[in-house]
Amino acid sequence: MNRTIFCALAAAILATGCGQQQPPPPAPARFAAQPGELLHFVPVAEKLVALSFDDGPNDPCTRQLLAICAKEQVHVTFMLIGANAEKHPDIVREIVAGGHAIGNHSYSHPRFDQSTPAVIREEITRADTVLEKLTGQKPVLMRPPYGLYGQDYFEICRDTGHVVGGWSASASDWNPHTPQELAGALLDQLAPGAIFLLHDGKETNDGPHRVASVQSVALLIPQVKARGYRFVTIPELQAAAVAPPAAFANGVQLLGVQWPERTAASKEVALRMHWQLPAALVRSSAHVWITLGGAGGPFTLDCGLPHGGDVWKETESLKVPPPAFQPGRYAMRIALGLGAHKRKPLPCAGAWAPDNKAAAVPQPLVVAPNLTVEASP
Ligand SMILES: [Zn+2]
């Protein structure tokens, strides 16, 4: 079933005003972000992960990065600035020749939240024109500068045919960090379907501003491969998508849940939930229950859906202090209530929702005696 029909069906179920009594919506056959929708995390059945780089092409960092990717035989995604591509057409051709994917990152890198819809549209189409002329292909992905949306941004991307290129993991590489710190921060956020954000350029400036980011990639790739992962481009990641593990009535989809693989020195545990939310959803009306059954439980954690507003804020990170947990194994269920039914769980379908009442996360949470937390295979 395609996504449009699925959403219409979900809306029809809600329109009856008794979502809890209605059968749950059928889960989509496959997750697919359409033009005007956000792609920031992809449910996949294999250990696939995508690296993406913003603000290139840059001299010298982009070529340094291309050399690392060639040595490691890894394909990545470059979100290019149109003005930089005009300045370095040869580097753009080297990116394409290396088998990498290209996305649109605006023509001149303005803040879209301070731009008019007309300027946003012009920035997107002008960069498209430059990139299509150099590569022969119009980019499918559009990542807004600084990750910031602007007025009518999603509608404009729907019109121009772009999927919004988000990410699920970053290491704040625009701030000073060592390559080791950057690689470590990204490794902590590794999960099948993750999209990593790094930079090979700095807005429209040339120069070695992103040397630490480039060096971090050389450290990161072997460690990610050693954990059994394969690197793909973002379009390849989307092509490998499977059905979301849980789809709630009215179109909300849970794409994945992450416990950190290990948080040995951490004072708290960050549970990360990756959601795909319909644009029209009133997020503030949502209530999420997380039930942990097991050694010290059962107990319930409450939170909302991500606030949204920019591409950084689509993954909910819920901090849980370790003393809340007794050592042991915990089974985890996620339920969602919305709008008038905020206090009643919505029906839910998908591989994680065999009873249609909540998403039962298949990986148990394991709390070791020293209160470190890890996901169990
Ligand atoms: Zn940027």
Is 88 known to be catalytic?
Answer: no
309-345 pLDDT, tens digit each: 776 667 777 776 655 667 778 888 999 998 776 778 8
145 Cα to the center of ligand 1, angstroms = 4
Strands 77-80 and 48-56: parallel
CB 210 within 8 A of CB 61: yes
Q: Where in the chain is the domain with CATH 3.20.20.370?
A: 48-239
Q: Which range is least confidently modeled, 16-30, 36-50, 241-255?
A: 16-30
Q: Return the sign of the alpha-carbon dihedral for residues 180, 186, 190, 194.
A: negative
Candidates 54, 55, 128, 200; catalytic one: 54
CA 299 to centroid of ligand 1, rounded, Å? 42
Structure tokens at 354: 């065999």
DSSP output for 74-121:
---EEEE-HHHHHH-HHHHHHHHHTT-EEEE--SS---GGGS-HHHHH
pTM: 0.89
Per DSSP, the three-state class of 46 is: coil
Q: What is the 49 CA–ligand 1 centroid distance (Å)?
A: 21
Please state which of the four CATH numbers 1.10.1740, 2.30.230, 2.60.40, 1.10.357 is assigned to the domain occupying 245-375. 2.60.40
Sorting pLDDT into bands at 50, 70 and 90, what band is 157? very high
Q: How far is the CA of 55 from the centre of ligand 1 (A)?
A: 5
**In the CATH hierarchy, which top-level class contains the domain 48-239?**
alpha beta
Could you read off the pLDDT of 62-89 as tens digits, one per residue? 999 999 999 999 999 999 999 999 999 9
User: What pLDDT is stored for residue 366 in this prediction?
Assistant: 77
The pLDDT of residue 301: 83
Q: Which of these is catalytic: 75, 109, 162, 199? A: 199
pLDDT at 53: 98
| Closest alpha carbon to 179 in 206, 211, 225 | 211
Range list of β-strands (E), the chain: 38-39, 48-56, 77-80, 101-104, 141-142, 163-165, 169-170, 195-199, 230-232, 246-248, 253-258, 269-276, 287-294, 299-303, 315-320, 328-337, 348-349, 359-367, 373-375
Which residues have CB less than 5 Å away from ligand 1 (the ion)? 54-55, 145
Decide if 199 is catalytic: yes
CA of 159 to the centre of ligand 1 (A): 22
Write out the residue limits of the CATH 2.60.40 domain(s) in the chain: 245-375
- The arithmetic mean of pLDDT across residues 369-374, rounded, is 63
The amino acid at 284: S
Cα 109 to averaged position of ligand 1 atoms, centre (Å): 6
> How far away, in angstroms, is 203 Cα from ligand 1 center?
6
Say yes or no to pLDDT of 104 above 80: yes
Is residue 288 a contact partner of residue 321, using CB atoms and an 8 Å limit? Answer: no
> What confidence tens digit (pLDDT) does each residue in 196-233 have?
999 999 999 999 999 999 999 999 999 999 999 999 99
Q: Which residues of 336-368 are buried (b: 16+ CB within 10 A; e: fewer)?
A: bbbeebeeebbbbbbebbeeeebbbbeebbbbe
CA of 148 to the centre of ligand 1 (A): 10
